[in-house]
């Protein structure tokens, strides 16, 4: 079950953005599996996509469309990733965008398509075309939560959050939703996150903000190390709050960007809390490295270790597995005598071997908690890196052995 996560009680509307949903019957019966986001004229949209070489047809098409036109609609389906589907899949993605353009009287290039679900099966353009009018008719500023539910696959809970910040007497609102539970080790963004604000943000600045926000959120999480073919993250600035940013030095931009990054971090952490089979929420903090890259390398090595993950599942303070993972992380000339490792506030390793003050009872208290921080001090520099992850449970294996997603 999700760790310290519940569905959002309220998601604040963003002026200039509406969501509509429909049940297209793509894979799931009796639930919405199609979501349409409408973005008002004059809004600015930034997006980042997976770096997986086998990226899905909708990712390829969304990249193209985003480069050639202003974005007016996002069309998202769950239940089928439309990945590994070749030219036929590309035609389905294009036909789906055309259906939106028909209904909304806009250009095909103004529609970005997104898909999530099983890889390698052809998506039905007909089902999407048939359901689209219902999604279009459903458009409303208050349908963020409905959209969050419609894009779920193996997610247990819908994930969304809102933040507000006062700038120069005006209220700026930011709302975001995300889905994702397995195949989570984003390399650019995670499998489908949509964040919107009513602030006005210059295009270059918005793209920079998106990349900054993604680096410390979706690009710092892992469930299973498997980067998806369909990862995508979109940030929309509708510009209707009466406040505009064109540079990082603008008054209020610092507060605004902190709020945006906060939304991204909350969503990224929510994906970990609802990770497949998750029973723990784990923060891995690596500090005192030469550079951020090696800190992240150590953090990811620990986060991906099946032996560390099963020990976390068992609440077993088997710190030797953490030590072994740090040791195999491929850090050149690591002086283990300078490495310290902590479970929460409990020092476990100091000078390359067990800390003299360590007791199994103290380690057990930390491991019994649902939220655990593993801190690793490399003792050779000033850089740091942080990754969030979860444990590896029997349920993870069952979910992925029994369910084809």
Query: Which residues lie near its own copies (CB under 8 A)?
Result: 51-55, 81, 83-89, 118-120, 182-183, 185, 187, 224-229, 304-307, 310-311, 313-314, 316, 318-321, 323-329, 331, 334, 336, 339, 349, 351-354, 392-394, 396-398, 400-402, 404
Instruction: Please state the closest distance from residue 16 (CB atom) to its own copies, in A.
Output: 35
Q: List CB contacts of 360: < 8 A, sequence separation 6 or more.
A: 317
Name the nearest CA neighbour of 225 among 367, 4, 398, 396: 396
Of 190, 283, 301, 390, the catalytic one is: 190
How many other CB atoms sit within 10 Å of the CB of residue 202?
Answer: 16
How many other CB atoms sit within 10 Å of the CB of residue 401?
Answer: 8
Backbone angles phi, psi at 397, to 5 degrees: -65, -45
Residue with Cβ nearer its own copies (197 or 219): 219
Q: State CA 218 to chain mean position distance.
A: 4
Number of helices (H) and strands (E), helices first, in the chain? 11, 18
Instruction: Please state the closest distance from residue 203 (CB atom) to its own copies, in A.
Output: 28
Contact (CB, 8 A) for 390 and 281: yes
Residue with Cβ nearer its own copies (85 or 162): 85
Residue with Cβ nearer its own copies (199 or 312): 312
Distance CA 310, CA 308 (A): 6
Instruction: Please state the closest distance from residue 349 (CB atom) to its own copies, in A.
Output: 7
Contact (CB, 8 A) for 2 and 156: yes
258 CB burial (10 A radius; 0-12, 13-18, 19+): exposed
Instruction: Please state the closest distance from residue 44 (CB atom) to its own copies, in A.
Output: 30
Residue with Cβ nearer its own copies (264 or 319): 319
Active site residue 283: no
Instruction: Please state the closest distance from residue 85 (CB atom) to its own copies, in A.
Output: 5
Instruction: Please state the closest distance from residue 125 (CB atom) to its own copies, in A.
Output: 16
| 169's tokens | 């007497």
Residue with Cβ nearer its own copies (85 or 175): 85
What is the chain's Cα-based Rg?
22
Contact (CB, 8 A) for 97 and 65: yes
Residue with Cβ nearer its own copies (52 or 240): 52
How many other CB atoms sit within 10 Å of the CB of residue 1?
Answer: 11
Contact (CB, 8 A) for 397 and 277: yes
Instruction: Please state the closest distance from residue 224 (CB atom) to its own copies, in A.
Output: 4
Q: List CB contacts of 124: < 8 A, sequence separation 6 or more.
A: 26, 80, 92
Residue with Cβ nearer its own copies (101 or 354): 354
User: Which is it for strands 353-354 and 346-350: parallel, antiparallel or unpaired?
Assistant: antiparallel
Strand order in the sheet with 44-49: 44-49, 232-237, 191-197, 170-178, 159-167
Name the nearest CA neighbour of 26 among 75, 74, 81: 81
Catalytic residues: 190
């Amino acid at each position: 079950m999700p760790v310290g996560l519940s569905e959002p009680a309220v998601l604040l509307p963003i002026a200039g953005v509406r969501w509509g949903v429909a049940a297209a019957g793509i894979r799931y019966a009796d639930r919405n599996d199609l979501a349409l986001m409408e973005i008002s004229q004059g809004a600015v949209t930034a997006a980042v996509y997976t770096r997986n070489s086998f990226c899905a047809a909708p990712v390829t098409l969304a990249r193209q469309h985003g480069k050639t036109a202003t974005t007016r609609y996002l069309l998202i389906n769950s239940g089928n990733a439309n990945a590994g589907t070749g030219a036929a899949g590309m035609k389905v993605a294009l036909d789906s965008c055309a259906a939106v353009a028909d209904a909304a009287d806009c250009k095909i290039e103004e529609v970005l398509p997104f898909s999530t679900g099983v890889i390698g099966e052809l998506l039905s353009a007909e089902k999407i075309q048939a359901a689209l009018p219902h999604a279009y008719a459903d458009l409303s500023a208050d349908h963020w939560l409905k959209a969050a539910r419609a894009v779920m696959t193996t997610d247990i809970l819908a994930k969304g959050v809102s933040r507000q910040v006062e700038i120069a007497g005006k209220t700026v609102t930011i709302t975001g939703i995300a889905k994702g539970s397995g195949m989570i080790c984003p390399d650019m963004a995670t499998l489908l996150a949509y964040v919107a604000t009513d602030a006005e943000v210059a295009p270059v600045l918005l793209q920079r903000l998106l990349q900054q926000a993604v680096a410390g959120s979706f690009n710092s999480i892992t469930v299973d190390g498997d980067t998806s073919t369909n990862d995508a993250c979109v940030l929309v600035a509708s510009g209707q709050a009466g406040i505009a940013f064109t540079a990082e030095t603008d008054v209020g931009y610092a507060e605004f960007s902190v709020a945006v990054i906060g939304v991204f971090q909350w969503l990224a952490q929510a994906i970990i809390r609802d990770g497949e089979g998750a029973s723990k929420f784990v923060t891995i903090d690596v500090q005192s490295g030469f550079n951020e890259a090696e800190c992240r390398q150590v953090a990811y090595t620990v986060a991906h270790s099946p032996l560390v993950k099963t020990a976390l599942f068992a609440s077993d303070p088997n710190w030797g597995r953490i030590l072994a993972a740090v040791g195999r992380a491929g850090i050149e000339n690591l002086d283990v005598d300078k490495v310290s490792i902590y479970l929460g506030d409990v020092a476990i390793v100091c000078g390359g071997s067990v800390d003299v003050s360590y007791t199994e009872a103290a380690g057990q208290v930390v491991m019994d908690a649902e939220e655990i921080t593993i801190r690793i001090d490399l003792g050779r520099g000033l850089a740091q890196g942080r990754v969030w992850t979860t444990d590896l449970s029997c349920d993870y294996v069952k979910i992925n052995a029994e369910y084809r997603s």
